[in-house]
């Protein structure tokens, strides 16, 4: 079954701790994305990667870090510098990166992070 998996589904963290969210895809897509979803707000782009070993900041990158060492994997680390990390995090992928041509994004099931 092709798709995007995210783990864990629920994650609890104490203040001051870093935590890493996993995202894996077997769709052979070049591009991967991390979004944050808060109640009453649209998805906001945290980071994206258009190719292995390359990534760019989105609109709300502060307090987050990513790596893209393999095509299939794009883990997101929520650091202690992120002031309000409690949110729902969605990972997505697409065949190509951001550009003017059509490029459907496929989404994972999400991880709900709660900071205690």
Q: Which of 7, 12, 28, 109 binds another protein (CB under 8 A)?
A: 109
Helices (runs of H) and strands (runs of E) counted in the chain: 0, 11
Q: Which is nearer to another protein, 82 or 94 (CB)?
A: 94
Cα separation, 32 vs 81, whole angstroms: 23
On the CB side of 18, CA atoms within 13 Å amount to 10
- The residue range among 20-28, 67-75, 77-85, 107-115 that interacts with another protein, by the rule CB under 8 A, is 107-115
Stretch of residues binding another protein (CB under 8 A), selected from 19-27, 64-72, 74-82, 100-108: 100-108
User: Taking CB under 8 A as the criterion, which residues in 76-95 touch another protein?
Assistant: 90
d(C-alpha 69, C-alpha 80), whole Å: 23
DSSP notation for 5-22 = EEE-SEEEE-TT--EEEE
Find the binder of another protein among 41, 83, 84, 116 (CB under 8 A): 41
**Which residues contact another protein (rule: CB under 8 A)?**
3-4, 40-45, 58-59, 90, 98-100, 102, 104-109
């Amino acid at each position: 079954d092709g798709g995007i998996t995210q783990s864990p589904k629920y994650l609890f963290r104490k203040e001051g701790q870093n935590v890493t969210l996993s995202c894996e895809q077997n769709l052979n897509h070049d591009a991967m994305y991390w979004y944050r979803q808060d109640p009453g707000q649209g998805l906001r782009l945290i980071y994206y990667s258009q190719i292995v070993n390359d990534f760019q900041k989105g609109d709300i990158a502060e307090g987050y870090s990513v790596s893209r060492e393999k095509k299939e994997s794009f883990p997101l680390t929520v650091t202690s510098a992120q002031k309000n990390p409690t949110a729902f995090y969605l990972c997505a992928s697409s065949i190509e990166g951001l550009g003017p041509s059509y490029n459907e994004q496929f989404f994972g099931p999400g991880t709900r992070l709660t900071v205690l």
